[in-house]
Amino acid sequence: MTRIIRSSRSDDALRFSPRAASLLAAAALGVFAASPLGCSSDSTRPSLIQEPGGAGNAGRAGASVGEAGSAEAAGASGDDAGEAGDAGAPSGTAGNGGVSNGLGGSGGTAPVIPAACAKSVTWSESATVPSVSSAANETLLSVTPDELDLAFLRAGQLHVAHRTSAEETFTLGPELVLPAGWTAAHGAALSADGKRLIVLSDPDQKRLGEWTRTSRSLAFSGEIETSAFDAINQDAEFTGKQYASPAISPTGEQLFFNSSFSDGVSTIVISSRTGTSAWSTPKELTPGTFNGASGKRRLPTGVSADARTLFYFNEESGKEEARWRASSNASSALYDMLSLGARRGATPNSACNRLYSDAAGDVVVEAD
């Protein structure tokens, strides 16, 4: 029996601590991998726990702790925490961006606001949400930061569930049929207010568009709007790129998605905007970090409330991963990485004390 499930609080719950975790703490966490999961009619399911003695995965891929790309370890500037220079600088150095607060070029540690999603985690068991459980396979697409709307595929069919409180049970909406030429099979992203759903053109995957509704209690309807995505779509038209797996920041001002060429080489790109203006031409996010060959894409799945943590599925490792950056600035690089094991589609709530994902055909949530 496939279940969409959410957990109650427990001593073993997933904990994104409000305190900023040190880089050494991140290294001590190890590589996370999932316990064997299967469909179950039980009201609880096994935890997704870490393997003992795993490697740390902290800092840039292959980097030592002393070379960590952590803003907490590096000398950070007040505006963008040094961005690429500071985020990847050795501990105690200023990086290319220099430092503020009168530290000159001597390095040191500038005050850093803890990220909304800390790097220290433990895992919990989960419980079912009866109103949306089924025997079919479900795939998580997107969850709003307030946890009131959840978009998912059930046996390939698009649904959006809604509730009026995060403590209530979801009410499952009817199956949604997208207009011809559009699909959610390659990913979809709900806006924070639950009124816009970003989808992909079908079958070419060369355009992004959004489906809208006037109220969260209503079904999505009407035509797909594309005008806000003109720069993104023109870039694909001129270069032959294909897009997949959009994930939008809670503020609605940054859009992450996978971009690949016809030979299969791909990376994660980012578009930005101010308010509700049009999206910018996409740019590569942290050059080299998210590159993948054919069938080895990195697919964005969720963004933290402060846009400093990106969750994505790594087709090469077959695991969900998360990376952190020092600033929410669109040009700030992501380095520190944590493997989240066999989850897929990981998406945090606004407080980052609940993490939604899917595993073995079930959509799950682990809570603090």
Q: How do the domains of the chain map onto residue ranges?
A: 5-36+47-98+109-367
Between residues 303 and 62, the one the model is more confident about: 303
| 3-class state of residue 129 by DSSP | coil
Could you read off the pLDDT of 211-224 as tens digits, one per residue?
999 999 999 999 99
CATH class of 5-36+47-98+109-367: mainly beta
The pLDDT of residue 343 is 87
Q: Give the pLDDT band of residue 44 (cuts 50, 70, 90).
A: low
For the chain, the average pLDDT equals 76
Q: What is the largest CA-CA distance in the chain?
A: 62
- pLDDT of residue 200 exceeding 80, the answer is yes
DSSP states of 245-286 as a string?
EEEE-TTSSEEEEEEE-TTS-EEEEEEE-STTSPPPPPEESS
Q: How confident is the model at residue 3 (pLDDT cuts 50, 70, 90)?
A: very low
Give the burial class of 119: count Cβ atoms within 10 A of its Cβ; 0-12 exposed, 13-18 middle, 19 or more buried: buried
Average pLDDT over residues 82-89: 36
Per-residue pLDDT band at 22 (split at 50, 70, 90): very low
Read off the pLDDT of each residue in 41-70 and give the average, rounded to a whole number: 37
Question: What pLDDT shows up at residue 32?
Answer: 35
State the pLDDT at residue 127: 61
Residue 164: CA atoms inside 13 Å, Cβ hemisphere, count?
Answer: 2
Residue 31 pLDDT class (50, 70, 90 cuts): very low
Residue (of 114, 75, 71, 110) closest to 96 by Cα position: 75
Residue 4 has pLDDT above 80, yes or no: no
Provide mean pLDDT across the span 96-105: 33
When pLDDT is cut at 50, 70 and 90, the band that residue 88 belongs to is: very low
Q: Which segment of 78-87, 170-179, 202-211 scores lowest on mean pLDDT?
A: 78-87
The pLDDT assigned to 99 comes to 30
- 42: Cβ–Cβ under 8 A, 6 or more apart, which residues? none
Region 243-268 average pLDDT: 96
